Structure 1
Amino acid sequence: MFGFLHLPGYGPSARRRPRHRKTSSENNKKLLNTLNSETSTLSGTSQQKKMANEEDVFTFQDPGHPDHLMSGLQELRKECRFSDVIICVGATEFPCHRVVLASASSYFKAMFSGELRESLATKIVIHSVSESIMELLLEFSYTGRVDITQKNVEALLEAANLFQFGTVREACSRYLQQRIDASNVLGFHEFAEAHNCTELSELAKEFVIDNFLEVFQTSGEFLQVTQERLVEYISDVNLQIDKEEQVYESVMQWVRADVDNRLSILHKVLEHVRLPFINPRYLVAKVETEPLILSSPACMELVQEARRYHVFDYDRADQPNIRMKPRPCFDISEAMVVVGGCSGGDTKLAKVDCYDPKNNAWHTLSDLPEYNREGYAVVALGNDIYVTGTTDETITSDGCATTWKYSTQSDRWMTMAPMLKSYKCRATVVLHGQIYLLGGTDINGPVADVERYDPFSNSWEEVQPMIKAMNDFTVAACRGKLYVNGRSQGSEKILFQCFDPSTDTWNFIDNSVMPEWSQVPQSITLNGLIYYLRDDSKEVDAYDPIANQWVEVAPMKAMHSSGSVCVIDGKIFVSGGFGELAESNLIECYDPTYDKWAYSGSLPEPRCYHWCVSILKKVEHGDEEE
């Protein structure tokens, strides 16, 4: 028998409760509340699940996947499975996958994605590369690895450059960089230039520049370099050599290796050899007697230029020329020597200081003898400094005046042949390797006399006097002539006289277009122009003697009344003098390239009535006075 389970409220004993019938509106309201409640519950549950999902994210990344993928693709390539293109090189076919090659090489990417027929072809024939090199590039495409050896590096780099495998090209370049030496550097340089390997090219050139003599003596490729490449090396400002003769000998050996084709261009290469800095004895014994040089008029002009330099018959400032500048490796540079002057009023200075503009450093030289003299003049002839001028103290027993010479080699002053006339306040200038001494005054007033000094015979001689004597004037040498500007006694008019030593004649120059000067300025020659720095203002004028025209020039930054001026490395340097308020120690320089003045440094102390000249001097690296 089965029993029955009785639930509460059911069964016979359960009492029925009357049912309440709800209206239709009540039912609708209840249903709406129920739906809203359920919707709210579902929305909250969804937000909780979303937040839970965001907080519970786990990102997995297999670090070995790229390698696994590439090794898998490489395996498929080896098995010739799923390949969609065949690269044909010679008799060898390489089944590959377009997507892999396009990813590894810009060359193949452009080939497959363009409108070329290769974009659809199943077989592509490649020329200009060997099977072994193509295999290396394909291996790299699939594995990212390549074995570079001394045997394959050049061919591999060439192919990597052609097919635009940039990382392979750079790897080959680094391989070659580590193996540069004097025997192979020239070949490496040419190879790098041909394949746009900038870093390798720069490193190879730098090696040649730093080790020129070793490369010249060691490399069998030196005699095969082009004219342009040889000029590139020997004209480089950083070329490292022991002496200029080494450059000359390398050029001559290069010419002799192919005389028939190279003799006609010898002068174009020789102009980059700085013949003025070849030892004079070597120049006479070796260069001037060389048959190849003698056969070329253009080469002989370069030799004559060097000879003029050796006899001081060349003005670096008037006609600037790279051959007239020593190479930086010789550790020689142009320096400014400041001689004498006054400081603190009438205190006369015996000091002689040397200034290196590149290093902004001062060095003290031997003191000036007879520094109490007044109205003396200073010039540089070659690398020596000459002081001329007369006072009662400098007149010798026979009535002549002493000439002093400072030797840069010995740092010593010595007396030279006395001047012919004992005039005061004379002007001096160098032309064609000789010192000209002009004008001056005696007890009767200004004189027009001119005398000339020859450093090789150590003698003075009289030359044609000026047309008009002057007592306030300035002189400059430019383009082989002397130009004198000044006033004659009792006149305010500025006269302009010119002396031509080739004809030994003076003549007046039309001064109707000259600037108006209240005082006669200082003058200096640079690049074929005569610059006039005014003594009573910041203004500067320039005169072109060839065109007989005046040129507008930027004004100085400060006034330098009774200062001094010289030319160094193609720039005008003016120093000291009286500023607008007091004595000045300022140095400023003018760059004609930009027509601009700039402050360059300062004198050791304020100084005026001093002289500045430019010489070539060995750079001193110790005991510098700032």
Structure 2
Amino acid sequence: MNQNSSVCNELRLEQQLCDAVIKVDNVEFHAHKVILCNYSSYFRALFTHWSTPDSRVFDIPNVSPDMMKLIIEFAYTGFVPVTQDNIQELFIAADRFNVKGIIQACSDFLEEQLAPQNCIGIWWFTDVYYNPELKHKAFIFMLNHFEEVAATSEEFLLLSLEELVKIIENDQLNVKKETTVFEAILRWIAHASEERREYISLLLSNVRLALMSPEYIIDSVSENELVKASEECRPILLKTLEAMLDLRTRRYSDSVFCNSLARPRLPPAILLAVGGWSGGSSTNGIEAYDVRADRWVNVTNNNVEAPRAYHGAAFLNGSLYCVGGFDSVEQFSTVHRFDLVTHIWQEVAPMHSSRCYVSVTVMDGYIYAMGGYDGHDRLETAERYLPSTNQWTLIAPMHEQRSDASCTILHGKVYICGGFNGTECLSTAECYNPETDQWSLIASMGNRRSGIGVIAYADHVFAVGGFNGTSRLRTAEAYNPHTDTWHAVPSMLNPRSNFGIAVIDDRLFVVGGFNGFTTTLDIECFDVEAGEWSDVRDMEISRSALSCCVVYGLPNMAEYAAPRPSL
């Protein structure tokens, strides 16, 4: 509360210079007309158009004294206590009296309270009390958490047919398996089977049936009693089988995006491959991998960042950061931030040291940059960056000089493995505890690995590929922090070093790299449950010395996904 507001509030409490008495159920609130007009168009109209200038007492019906007290206090203090108990009544009162500040406070509170069990109710609430921003956020929350909403929300069962169709037809619906959508509509129908069973064909036509396995279609969909009883479902199943055949024979054809039964949904996260070494020089190319569509999209920005390789890429607070690196002439200490929503590049504070072959990761709102090569020495120093202060701070140095190492985060610690110390490729590894600002050596890997990929996956630290001083490696191993031991895991299909690595959609991806003879655009992924590696669609740009990161939570995620034309 500023000084003027404080004085006005004191005058109100002392009933000094008040020119209005607001009466609610015989409870009187003394106030100043000009103060209420400033916060509410309702009161402005009441005092200037709906009453005479000499009117002093105003009876306000259909509102409780408690709510009026909060509204008047907000007009003087700019503060309102929003609670679980008063939120609905307060929102309704603020909407009626058009107190935008309280409406915003209520909206912020409801947004923070969004959960799978109440998001549909909040969505409905904004139909009655117009708030398009909150309505959109509730709908997006519902799409993002659909699996839990459909399984646990009682409100889900009360959706109208039109509302359910609006949800399941949306490209942004986040489901790992399309079978979840089919099972959700069965649950919805079962809640009022007699009146809803006739909707099965309409709902089924909005499920991406061709993305399911043939076995599931045959055993679960076509054998379902509702589906079998509906003649309208038969042509849908026939079109599904045709779409499945098309998917298998024309895997990368754009026709799948135009088929409502086969169209991939938008992914909740996108894998970015940033920069690297390509065609004998560094590149500024950025490609985005849409895991649901199995497509790479070139998203290189026209306001181009300078080409760089052997750098680090990190995603934090809606922005992509490019840290350090090399352009074939200079080792960089510079750091550039790309706002993924506005598409604007901006240079931020530089690191304390130039670092190419740097290891970069994100933890607890900080970007960590460790080791690397400054053009003269392999570094053991490490530092971290806090965006809110735009400052890099040195942290404890590592036990070893490490360039061309790789790092990850697990259980609140930074793990860094392998690398090159200027003399030999390393098998050693260590972890950093930010609470003590200390590095601790952990068990060494089974192999020396420089140009390695390190990533947290399945509660382990995975160390993949690299160069052992003689050859590029296919092998991979995983570290168990609970036992301080490494064990072998299945080898990649292809040897590689200096590649990108990331986990997305519960799989570990390795991207590009150098195979001992040439840079590659080859991608493969590892599924820990299946225990095997499989090929993924190649990038457009063949490159090594790139860096990968996963971006999520963007309002414009569709801009980084494979284009989906309107149906």
Q: Under a length normalisation based on structure 1, what TM-score does the superposition of the two structures give?
A: 0.45
Higher relative contact order (CA 8 A, sep 6+): 2
Structure with max Cα Rg: 1
